[in-house]
Structure 1
Amino acid sequence: MRLNTSMPTSFPLLHHADAAAHLSGDPTMRELIAHNGDLPVLAPTPGPFGTLIRSVNGQQLSVKAAASIHARLLDRLGTLDARALLQTPGDELRAVGLSWAKVRTVKAIAGAEQAGTVDFVHIATLPDEAVIAALLPLPGIGRWTAEMFLMFALARSDVFSLGDLALRQGLARLYPDMPADEVLAGWTPYRTLAARYLWADNHRVRAGGEPVG
């Protein structure tokens, strides 16, 4: 599927003050923001292709292990681009630490980029669901990975992944008597920042912080 690039060329960047003010209308979220403070501002990555490759490489790994594999991959390739990935034998990619499933996925991403079936130069011009629809046909890319790409590569403001276990657990812990759809509707159009506060608070509680609520 070749992407339609007759869309607006960019999406507005998230204004954190506006987002935090909107989310603070929810008393529970207001408390989360107070407990966890300001979060770093997300900005669109200059290289969405490389960001997706790195995201796939880091799936189900610790941050430290993922960074080590990424460093070895860069050392082997010299540059993280589609041509280099396609020209590198699978067993050499496996040797830097990628599983065979991830080798298949990164090769498929590189092939799609080179063929133009996924246009990473213009993918940032597409609406969220169009980005997801473009990525889902790739092997090893599910909706969760596509949603993380929207959040952290394209810095989209209104993404919340119900496929993320930590986010579902956060909703259940903080809003036990409210349907998830109702909670999420109240956070729109800033669900990305809400998700990041749920992750941050989960990390804080696991580190021994006092639970909210």
Structure 2
Amino acid sequence: MKRTRDDILKVDVDQEYLDQHIDSFRDGIEHILTIDPTLKEIIEHSPFTMFLKENVAKDSMDLYFNKLAGSIISQQISGAAAKNIRGRIVDMFDGTFPNYQTLHETFQDSKKKQAFKECGLSQRKLMYIESLVGYFFNNEDSIKDLFAFADDDKIIEELVANIKGIGPWSAKMFLVTGLHRLNVFAAEDLGIARGCSRYLEQRPEILKKLHSKRTLIKKSKIKHKSFKWKIHDEDVVELCGDLFSPHRTLFMFVLWRMSDTNMEVVINNEKRFMSK
């Protein structure tokens, strides 16, 4: 008798674990474990916070703005420091993170603008937030259409071109946290590079196949002083991610889990994604 999709999932992954997550997560798990069943243990280690049913917020312009603002605030500082800054901003606005309309009005008043900066933002980050506010305030309709209809590459291109402080990596993370896109892969990310290194170290036959598929060598820009893991060229990491298309986002989270031997640290990082 032919097994149904649900039968396959019940065999491969605990049903109670799956039921905590959104349907697209179930589809992704089925696909990933079809490609590589050995990833079952690391997937089942704990729920993926980003994909829990209880954590998926309804799409809105305010949500999109919030996620991009959070990305700017958290750049180059610790998670704790970003949380503190965000908390001061929330306190300044009576318990809610301000939307772009509110901040547009705030920035018209020099004293209020200075008070906002004193929540812990550098002058550069204040400029980035102003750029984000201006982009959303002046382009509401076109942004709605962009996020609703454009493909991932077009969205990345538009965000990078129009918002100071948002680069390709930040734009990709927004695709995940704000738009819930399922086929995002950041080969340039340090954690992904390290996780991929450990993934391929244990699977030399896959590494050999990936090298045979290379058409354009793309050197990694990642530098490190440790010799505990090998930095693969970025095109090799990208090809590794492509093995799991169209569910590369979930595989990216799996690689983050593989990037650190301390799983609790990784899980905490996954939880911090919710505030970006």
TM over 0.5: yes
1:169–1:150 CA distance, 2 compared to 1 (3 A): same
Offset at residue 63 of structure 1 (A): 2.4
Distance 1:76 1:197 in 2: 37
Match of 1:206 among 259, 262, 270: 262
Relative to 1, partners in 2 of residues 1:105 and 1:198: Cα closer, same or farther, differing over 3 Å? Answer: same
2:246 maps to amino acid: P
Shift of 1:136: 0.3
| Distance in structure 2 (CA, Å) of the matches to 1:103 and 1:171 | 35
Q: Higher Cα Rg: structure 1 or 2? A: 2
CA distance in 1 between counterparts of 2:185 and 2:78 reads 22
Alignment coverage as a number of residue pairs: 195
Q: Aligned residues: percent identity? A: 26
Q: Secondary structure at the match of 1:175?
A: helix
Long gaps (5+) in structure 2: 1-21, 208-235, 266-276
Q: 2:115 aligns with which of 68, 72, 92?
A: 92
Q: Please, which runs of 5 or more residues in structure 1 have no aligned partner?
A: 1-12
Distance 2:47 2:168 in 1: 28
1:147 is aligned to 172
Stretch deviating more after TM superposition (41-50 or 150-159): 41-50
Cα deviation for residue 207 of structure 1 reads 4.9
Deviations 1:21-53 (A, max 9, x none): 11112245344324x244231635441111111
Give structure 1 regions of 4+ aligned residues with deviation exceeding 6 angstroms: none
TM-score (norm 2): 0.63
1:21 aligns with 2:30: yes
Whether the 8 Å contact between 1:160 and 1:195 is mirrored in structure 2 is yes
Match of 2:128 in 1: 105
Counterpart secondary structure, 2:184: coil
| 1:70 alignment partner AA | R
Asked whether the equivalents of residues 132 and 143 of structure 1 are also in contact (C-alpha less than 8 Å), the reply is yes
* Candidates 239, 242, 250, aligned match of 1:185: 242
Distance 1:107 1:158 in 2: 30
CA-to-partner distance for each residue in 1:137-166, whole Å, 9 max, x for gaps? 221110000000000111100001122111
